[in-house]
Amino acid sequence: MRWMVLVPERGSQVLHIMTYWEFAIAVMTLACAYVIPFSIALPNYREAELRMFNLVVDVVFVTDIILHFFLAYRNHAESHSDTLWERDPGKIARRYVCLPMDAAGQHGWFWLDLLSVAPLLADQLKVLEFFRVFRMCRMMKLARITRKLQDGQAIAGVPFYISDIAQFVFITTSVSHWAACVWVVMENQASASFGAGEDADGVTWLSALRSAKGDCCTPDAEGDPLCVYTLALYWAMMTLSSVGYGDITPQNGLEYSFCTFFMLVAGFVWAYIVGSVVALLSQLDTERTEFKDTMDRLRSIMDQWSVPAGLRHKLQEYLVVAKDVARSHRENTFLTENLSEGLQRKVLMESPIMQIIKRKIFWVANLEQEVILEIIRSFTSHMYAKGENIPMRDHDSRNRMIVVRQGLVAAGGRVLGRNDVYGENSILLVSESLSGGPMPRTLSYVAVLSLTQEALVSVCERFPSADERLRLAQTRVAVWRGFVLAAAKERRLASASEDDGLDRQITPTGGGFVRSNTRGDLDGAISCDELKALEGHLVMGQQEFTDHLTETRELLDDHMAFVRALSLLSSRGHEERSQPPVSRMVSNARDYMAGFGSRTSLRSQHGRAPSPSNYSGSASSEPGARVKLAAD
C-alpha cells in the first residue's frame, strides 16, 4: 500500500496538484457558507439547482476524505522518525481518525469531514430534515485549509493585505447573511405563509413592515421569497454597522431574543473589523509611521535642549534626506537576518552596486564572483550633511573606500557624483606615506557606501585566491605611489639642499595581502625580493628609454640640418645669379639623404643610434660633414 501514498514534497508534482485541490476545496467551502444557510432559509427557492450544487460538493468532499487516507504527512522535527515524511498508511489513518482536534488541531479531522457529508446520506436515506444543518460543519474545513493557503500565498508573492481585505469582506457579509437567513426562518416559523403575520405572540417583523410601509415586493411577499431575504439582509447589515434606521424591528418575544443575541455578536464583529482595518492601513506604510515617530522625538529633544532655529532646521532637513539611507539599512538588516548567505548573494547579484564596483575598481575585475558578492555584503551605509569631511580611516587607522550613492563630494581636485568611487587604491595600502590623500568634503547631503580595510582583509582570509590577487594589485599600487613620492622628493631636492627622505622601512618577508595588512613591523607594502625584481625590470626599462631618447634626438638634428641647408641654398640662389643652379642644390640634397639613409639602416641593424664614426655617405662621412654642407 505504500506505493499509493502521495508525498507532497517541496517542488514535486504532487505538491502542485494538492495546492490546486486545496484551493478548490476552499472555494467550495466558501460557497457552502452562503448557499447552505440560504437553502435552509428558503428551501423551495430553486430547489433543483441547490440540490445539484449540494451533490457536487458532497462528491468532492467524499473524495477528499478518501485522499487523506493516502496523503503522507511531515514528521515533527523532534520526532524519533528517520524520515521526513511518514509513508506508512496505518500511521496516516490513525492520525486522521484519532480524537478530533488533537495535537493542536493537527489530527482527527476525519470526524468533522464525515459530519460535513452526513447530509448526503440523509438525503439518500430520506432521514430527518434536521441533518441538513450538519452541512454547516463544512465550514470547519476553512480552519485547516487557510493555514495551507497562507503558505501558498507567501510562495506566490501575493501581498497579505489582499487576503486580509478579503477576510474582512467575508466576515462582514457572512455574518450578515447568516443573520438574515435566521431572520427569514423565524418569519417562516411564525406564520404559515409570508405576510400572514399572526401567530401566538402577535405580529412578526414582516407583517409590521407591510402594515407600516406597504408591501414593497413584486408581486407580493408570498410570491417573491428573494425580496423577503433582501429585506432581512438589509436589517442585518443595519444592525451590524450600528446604523439603526428603525424601520424593521422585532415584534414578538422570539424576535427580541434573537435581536439581543445578534446585537451582542455584531458589536464584537464590528469592533474586530474596524480595528483590523485600522491596523491594516497603518501597516501599509510602516516607514512613514516610523518617520513620524522619529521626527516627533527629535522635535521633543530640540524643545528640551532649546536648540537654535538655524540648527533646528538643519537637523530636521538631515532626517528628511536620510530616510533613504535608513530604509537601505533596514533592508540590508532584514536580508541578513532572514535569508541564508547563498540567497543573500543571489539577491546582491541583481543589485546596481555589483556592476558599479566591477566597472570602476580595477582589482575587482579578476576576482571570483563569490568574492565580489562577499565584498558587497561588507559595505555599510553612511549619511553626511553638507560641508562635512568624510573620514577615510576607521578607528584602527585603517584605510577605507567609499562609493557615492547620492549627492556631490569634492576630493582630490575633482567632484564625485552618483556611483563614483574614491579610495579604491588606498584601501590596499598600509603605509601612511603611500596611502595618504586629501580628505573628501561633501558639497551637499551625501549618502555613501563604505568598505573598510578590515572587512576586505576578512574576505581575503576566507578566500585564499582573492588574497593572492589582491597582493598583486597591492604591489602594483604601492610601486606607482612610490614612484610618485620619489618624483616629489626629486623636485624638493632641486629646490632645497636637505634630504628629508621617504622614511620607508622595508622588511624582507613575503606573503599575501592579508599578511601585509596584519604584520606589525611592516610600514611599507613591498618585500625586498619583490623590490629587487621590480628594480631589475626598471633598470632594463630605463636603458631602453635612454636609447630611444638618443635616437629621437639624432633624428631631430638630422632633419633640422637638412632644412637649414635647403633654406641657405635657396637664399643664396636668389642673391647671386652667378651661383650654381637649383640642380646643384638638389644634388647636394640627394647626397645628404643618401648618408641619412645609411645611418637609418645601421640604426635598425644595431637596435640603437650608431656613433658618428659608423656613418657612411658623402654628406656624413666625417664629423664636419653637416657644417660643410651648410657652408656649401
pLDDT at position 135, please?
64
Distance between CA 453 and CA 75 in Å, rounded? Answer: 47
Q: Residue 428, exposed/middle/buried by CB under 10 A (0-12, 13-18, 19+)?
A: buried
Calculate mean pLDDT across residues 370-378.
89
Calculate mean pLDDT across residues 135-162.
72
| Complete domains list, the chain, with CATH | 1-158 (no CATH), 159-306 (1.10.287.70), 343-483 (2.60.120.10)
pLDDT at position 179, please?
94
Distance between CA 608 and CA 327 in Å, rounded? Answer: 65
Residue whose C-alpha is closest to residue 585's, from 567, 569, 600, 598: 569
Distance between CA 195 and CA 210 in Å, rounded? Answer: 8
pLDDT at position 517, please?
63
Given a cut of 90, whether residue 266 has pLDDT beyond it is: yes
Tell me: the pLDDT tens digits for 192-212? 544 444 444 458 898 888 888
What is the DSSP code string of 437-492? -PPPEESS-EEEEEEEHHHHHHHHHH-HHHHHHHHHHHHHHHHHHHHHHHHHHHHH
pLDDT at position 596, please?
42
Q: Residue 82, exposed/middle/buried by CB under 10 A (0-12, 13-18, 19+)?
A: exposed
Which residues, 6 or more positions from 254, have their beta carbon under 8 angstroms from its beta carbon? 186, 190, 201
pLDDT at position 476, please?
87
Distance between CA 182 and CA 372 in Å, rounded? Answer: 67
Distance between CA 302 and CA 23 in Å, rounded? Answer: 55
> Pseudo-torsion of CA 137, 139, 145, 147, nearest 10°?
-110
Tell me: the pLDDT tens digits for 36-72? 889 888 888 888 888 888 888 888 888 988 998 988 8
pLDDT at position 133, please?
61
Which range is most confident: 246-260, 341-355, 589-603? Answer: 246-260
Lowest mean pLDDT among 83-87, 190-194, 511-515, 605-609: 605-609
Q: How many CB atoms are located within 10 Å of the residue 229 CB?
A: 19
Calculate mean pLDDT across residues 211-228.
85
**Cα-Cα end-to-end distance for the chain:** 119
Residue whose C-alpha is closest to residue 364's, from 410, 409, 421: 421
Distance between CA 152 and CA 16 in Å, rounded? Answer: 10
Residue whose C-alpha is closest to residue 54's, from 132, 130, 146, 110: 132
Residue whose C-alpha is closest to residue 474's, from 442, 404, 522, 419: 522
pLDDT at position 513, please?
64
Distance between CA 513 and CA 468 in Å, rounded? Answer: 7
Q: What percent of the chain has pLDDT over 70?
A: 69
Tell me: the pLDDT tens digits for 502-515? 444 334 445 666 66
The CA–CA distances, whole Å, from 519 to 394, 401, 508, 510, 512 equal 18, 21, 12, 11, 11
Q: Given pLDDT bands bounded at 50, 70 and 90, which one contains residue 300?
A: very high
* pTM for the structure as a whole: 0.60
Which residues, 6 or more positions from 59, have their beta carbon under 8 angstroms from its beta carbon? none
Calculate mean pLDDT across residues 374-391.
90
Calculate mean pLDDT across residues 341-365.
85
pLDDT, mean over the chain:
76
Q: Given pLDDT bands bounded at 50, 70 and 90, which one contains residue 549?
A: low
Given a cut of 80, whether residue 228 has pLDDT beyond it is: yes
Beta bridge partners of 86: 73
Distance between CA 407 and CA 449 in Å, rounded? Answer: 12
Tell me: the pLDDT tens digits for 440-492? 999 999 999 999 999 999 999 999 888 888 988 988 888 888 888 888 887 88
Residue with more model confidence, 616 or 588: 588
pLDDT at position 432, please?
76
